[in-house]
Amino acid sequence: MNSMETPHGWVVDVSVPPASIQDNTGDRERLFSALARADGQPPAAMDHRALAALPAALREKDGRVRCMLVPHASGYAVADVFSAASPPPCLGLAVDLGTTRIVARLADLFSHQVLGEAATDNPQAAIGPDVLARIHHADAHEDGLAELQRLAAGAVARLGRDLAEEAGRAAEDIRLVSLAGNTAMTHLFLGLPPRWIIREPYIPPANAPDPVEASALSLPFAPGCRVYVHPNVGSYFGGDLMAGIRHLGLHRGTRLQLLVDVGTNAEVVLGNAEFLIACAGAAGPALEGGVTRMGVTARPGAIDRVRIDPVTGEFILHTIGDRPAVGICGSGVIDLAAWLYLTGRLDERGKFVAHALGGRLTEDGQGVPAVVVATAKESATGEPLLFSQADMDSLTRSKAAMYTILCTLADSVGVEFEDIAAIHVAGTFGSFIDPESAITIGMIPDLPLSVYQAAGNTSLQGAASLLFSRRAPAETREIRDRVTYLELNVNQEFMTRFSAAKFYPHTDASRFPAALARKRAVAGRRQMLKVEE
Amino acid sequence: MNSMETPHGWVVDVSVPPASIQDNTGDRERLFSALARADGQPPAAMDHRALAALPAALREKDGRVRCMLVPHASGYAVADVFSAASPPPCLGLAVDLGTTRIVARLADLFSHQVLGEAATDNPQAAIGPDVLARIHHADAHEDGLAELQRLAAGAVARLGRDLAEEAGRAAEDIRLVSLAGNTAMTHLFLGLPPRWIIREPYIPPANAPDPVEASALSLPFAPGCRVYVHPNVGSYFGGDLMAGIRHLGLHRGTRLQLLVDVGTNAEVVLGNAEFLIACAGAAGPALEGGVTRMGVTARPGAIDRVRIDPVTGEFILHTIGDRPAVGICGSGVIDLAAWLYLTGRLDERGKFVAHALGGRLTEDGQGVPAVVVATAKESATGEPLLFSQADMDSLTRSKAAMYTILCTLADSVGVEFEDIAAIHVAGTFGSFIDPESAITIGMIPDLPLSVYQAAGNTSLQGAASLLFSRRAPAETREIRDRVTYLELNVNQEFMTRFSAAKFYPHTDASRFPAALARKRAVAGRRQMLKVEE
């Protein structure tokens, strides 16, 4: 693998032919020719630091030099040149910059060895839990944007330093950062004014920001270290998706594939080698931690699986790390809704059925009906964990939005759901969703379960693979340019479809034969057992 | 002129169409499209500072922005963006970086108004008088290169600041520096190791260094200010010549033209729209100040014109500024040799004729025969100014080298001197040379005097015109790529020709009919007057 991939990586060993008195071409120009032969195109530029180091490096080992190449708006640039006799380590840091979590992976750019992975909460959460709150903060305070920039960069700097130290390396050897995130997060990270991202007509300052020196972002990595930020298609379809599409190869496939990233926004792209069509819509806050009263991110103590015994009505909970329950995360919410519905505790309009819930039904502090998900005994706080009708209504909107987005997207290119060979469910909590539950509540199409694939953190995967591929930025740019973005805000059918999708599983129940069969089976079991009683 | 040239200048006003909800292209990408429409090609890159300023600037005056563009290795880059409502001044500094003198010109990049010009001695002279001494210093001392870099940059910084202040502007508004100089000087200025420039096979670190941020060179100009350094053809044919060729339009002419820059090195280029051929050779130190005992640069008190009365033998001297003589500069040395030869005081081998010199002949401190050029009375020091046989031998080698270079160059492309429509004599002291004297001693071809044109400081002129032309870097690069450099060190005929050219005016005197006629005329006058006596 090494011998195959190194020629296309960012760390390149080249042999520069010596000059002669007949051909007294400069060192820089001979290096450019050698790189053009190796790459197919010459560098777009060379850093001053690299040029200053070149003459001595060239003459140390018969013209053999190691070049640290970096992405450039037009092609690639030479950031550093070392003698092949004593090249220093060249490390790369891949970053998935999420609104809630920041995940980073450290790798050796020459050997392509992965050196470690770590994550941390996005410290911007101290300013505001979501994108909107942070953008308002950047707008409202003179130093607001700089403050948010420092927080994000500080977290990335710490992740880089900690990972380097754990691997016995130095942060000063990190020479390339490949970062993917949503459009708002990447703009805040770059210190670019985010004000217009959330205001009609929703224009980001940059679709494809130029690679920028790490020092300009106060990242304490190697001199000349570049930060490549994956480009976005618009304010609501970010570079995290571009990284994901490249990672999954949607743009190269002959089969039709779909990538869905579920969060506050549902971001979806459908395509193959012929087309890529994308859209994003507010899926509502029901699936993200910190929004519903008891909602939490997927962390120890989060309820991530729920079953309800059809006969006893017992709630069977699973928490991450088998710890006392501290709240419920996205996958748990979907499971909860699915099993409330399957067991007749939630009606087709998404409302709690009081007589079926019995003692599980109570009221929250505002007098709103609420289900006791975890009893006081099961909870870490000693208080019961409640999921209110308001929380459920929020989920109903979310699942309806998701299904409507998928319908609209498929319809726009005239394909049936059955034509889709694979649906990759991405995002930090996407991996934990039980597709069967999601189908049951009508959130995603009623397709064979094998179609659904947990894709994991495709943003990080894509960002990480760029560290080993000099072709990846151009490929990403091609993906970006090929994506047709479907604007839902101007889609008139959307609201009609959305209303129909707010039912469980849908007003047109024939779309969900498996969900209905399942409900019948559960009801049958209950009935059967009742008869046995 | 303004309305004609501004579209091709570095300061460009563009109107960026607003985005819409149907076309939510980012601010950066809409600016790039607008610039591509205006220029024919999009920018190669955009500075982070410019991107951060763009969104607000775009929305201040209906998308009308002023862009500060700068040269980039591949095309041009956007260094800054201002609202058209309140753009700051954009100044440019052109610099001719000479081994001895540094000359700078300040201009307004938008109005194309020239704001001032100033010169200063190159402070690197404190390290060493010539290129060789300075390169040895850079080699021999750990901080040597950095020290030389600081000295040159410091002088450029002071010139920029002083010129800005005199014009009522600020150095912080200087956003583009266009610099031309010989290969060694530009490398020292850029802090690039010069060691290999003077060692076989004489390879410079860069033929065409990338434009570099002024801050990287410790120039205290505007943030993002770029320094464009004219590219060289090799160690001995520098960017000052490239600027000169572009300024004079040699590369565009239908007629054949020649540019000659005389100094320690004689640098010559001959060409037209079809070809450009160049060579350079050591012309010897005779023509540069500080090398012959009494040699000085062209400064107040320097003897710049010499005549000898054919009858009385009186030396008629002219000094710059009509001040008491402090030494003799290049043009004075050529005049002196010509008149010593014309009046029979110098023989065809370039040796003093003792009986003809009479009381003007003395000895220098080493017992070498020497001519009293200025008497003790005429000199500023109260001591007579002497020009020794050793100094004269040095001049003989210089003039022979110059003529041989010109012959070799013309011969290499099969043209006769008579085919050359114009010979531009450039360089700080080139302007002062009397072509008649130079022809008389056989330094330059015996052509009609109208062929010789004092070109002034073509390096500065070329550097200055780049400040107003976005096309100039590409044109300069084309010139550079087109120049065929003739290496004299490997030219076997050179030494034979050189020996023949050491005679006055030449062993083949038929090449210099006008010089011989002049000598006969002077001898005739002397004879005539003698007869009258």
* Predicted confidence (pLDDT) per residue in B443-453, tens digit: 999 999 999 99
Radius of gyration of chain A (CA): 26
Domain limit, last residue, from B184, B212, B229: B229
Determine the distance in angstroms separating the CA of A501 from the nearest CA of chain B, rounded to an integer.
26
Q: Are residues A224 and A305 in the same domain?
A: no
pLDDT attached to residue A291 = 45
pLDDT at A359 (0 to 100): 94
Q: Give the whole-angstrom CA distance, residue A437 versus residue A446.
A: 11
Residues A98 and A216 in one domain: yes
Max avg pLDDT among B137-146, B282-291, B391-400: B137-146
pLDDT at residue B280 in the model: 87
Residues A295 and A280 in one domain: no
The beta-carbon neighbor of A201 closest among B19, B44, B205 is B19
The phi and psi torsions of B93 (rounded to 5 degrees) equal -125, 120
CA distances from residue A518 to A9, A330, A362, A448 in whole angstroms, order as listed: 50, 22, 28, 13
What is the CATH classification number for the domain harbouring A198?
A: 3.30.420.480
Alpha-carbon distance B232 to A392, whole Å?
Answer: 73
- Cα–Cα dist B318/B508, whole Å: 33
- The pTM score is 0.92
Position A262 scores a pLDDT of: 78
**pLDDT surpassing 50 at residue B224:** yes
Q: Is A121 exposed, middle or buried (0-12, 13-18, 19+ CB in 10 A)?
A: middle
The segments of chain A whose pLDDT lies below 70 read 1-7, 263-264, 283-294, 428-430, 489-490, 529-533
pLDDT of B531 reads 60
| Domain closes at, from A205, A235, A265 | A235
**A195 and A268 co-located in one domain:** no
pLDDT computed for residue B146 by the predictor: 98
Q: What is the CATH number of the domain that holds B40?
A: 3.10.20.880
Tell me whether residue A206 is in a domain.
Answer: yes
Round to whole Å and give the CA distance between A386 and A395.
14
Residues of B in contact with A20 (CB under 8 A): 201
pLDDT of res. B17: 94
Same domain, B95 and B45: no
Q: Is residue B276 part of a domain?
A: no
| Mean pLDDT of the residues in chain B | 92
Specify whether B30 is located in the same domain as B105.
Answer: no
Residue A292: what pLDDT? 56
pLDDT at B265: 76
**Distances from the Cα of A111 to the Cα of A6, A107, A303, angstroms:** 8, 8, 40
Q: Is residue A328 domain-shared with residue A229, that is, in the same domain? A: no
Cβ–Cβ under 8 Å, residues B151 and B214: no
Q: Kindly write down the DSSP assignment for every residue of A305-367, as one continuous string.
A: EEEE-TTT--EEEEEGGGPPB-EE-HHHHHHHHHHHHHTTSB-TTS-B-HHHHGGGEEE-TTS
In a domain, A381, yes or no: yes
Q: Is the pLDDT of residue B291 over 50?
A: no
Nearest Cα of chain B lies from the Cα of A53 at a distance, in angstroms, of: 8
**A377 and A270, same domain (yes or no):** no
Q: Are residues A78 and A97 in the same domain?
A: no
**How many CB pairs below 8 A link A and B?**
159
Distance CA B519, CA B515 (A): 6
Mean pLDDT of the residues in chain A: 92
Which contiguous run of DSSP H or E holds residue B505? none
Look at residue A521 and tell me if it is in a domain: no
User: What is the number of structural domains in chain A?
Assistant: 4
Q: Do A52 and B235 touch (CB under 8 A)?
A: no
Predicted local confidence at residue A288, as pLDDT:
54
Would you state the pLDDT for residue B5? Answer: 39
pLDDT value at B184 more than 90: yes
Q: Which of A26, A193, A487 sits opposite B203 (nearest CB)?
A: A26
Name the most confidently modeled range: A129-133, B80-84, B487-491. Answer: B80-84
Judge contact between B105 and B81, C-beta under 8 A: no
C-beta of residue B258 within 8 angstroms of C-beta of residue B276: no
Distance CA B262, CA B397 (A): 13
Does B113 lie in the same domain as B35?
A: no
Instruction: State the pLDDT at residue A532.
Output: 56
Percent residues over pLDDT 70 in chain B: 94
Distance CA B22, CA A178 (A): 30
Residues of B in contact with A25 (CB under 8 A): 203, 207
Cα–Cα distances (Å) from A336 to A347, A503, B436, in that order, read 13, 16, 103
The alpha-carbon gap from A197 to the nearest alpha carbon of chain B, in Å, equals 10
Domain boundary among B27, B56, B83: B83
Question: Residue B211: inside a domain, yes or no?
Answer: yes
Contacts of B54 in chain A (CB under 8 A): 205
Contact flag A206-B19 (C-beta cutoff 8 Å): no
Which one of B16, B41, B74 makes the best mutation probe of the A interface by having the most chain A beta carbons within 10 Å? B74
Between chains, do B191 and A52 touch, taking CB under 8 Å as contact?
A: yes
Q: What is the 3-state secondary structure (H, E, C) of A190-221?
A: HCCCCHHHHCCCCCCCCCCCCCEEHHHHCCCC
Contact (CB<8Å) B207/A29: yes
* Residue A45 to residue B74, Cβ atoms within 8 A: yes
Whole domain around residue B118: which residue ranges?
A: 91-229
What is the spatial distance between Cα A331 and Cα A430, in angstroms, rounded to a whole number? 8
Residue B54 Cα, gap to closest chain A Cα (Å): 7
Answer yes or no: is pLDDT of B530 > 80: no
**What is the separation, in whole angstroms, between the first and last Cα of chain B?**
65
Is B209 among the domain residues? yes
pLDDT in tens, B186-203: 999 999 999 999 998 899
Kindly state whether residue B275 falls inside one of the protein's structural domains: no
CB A369 within 8 A of CB A354: yes
- Are both A255 and A114 inside the same structural domain? no
Do B347 and B298 belong to one domain? yes
Q: A504: distance to nearest CA of chain B, Å? A: 33
The arithmetic mean of pLDDT across residues B421-438, rounded, is: 85
pLDDT in tens, B469-485: 999 999 999 999 999 99
Nearest to B209 among A28, A44, A205 (CB): A28
pLDDT exceeds cutoff 60 at B289: no
Question: How confident is the model at residue A286, as a pLDDT?
Answer: 57
Is B32 within the bounds of a domain?
yes
Contact between B51 and A485 using a beta-carbon 8 Å cutoff: no
Q: Looking at the predicted structure, is the pLDDT value of residue B162 above 50?
A: yes
H helices present in B92-143, as ranges: 131-140
What value of ipTM does the predicted structure carry?
0.91
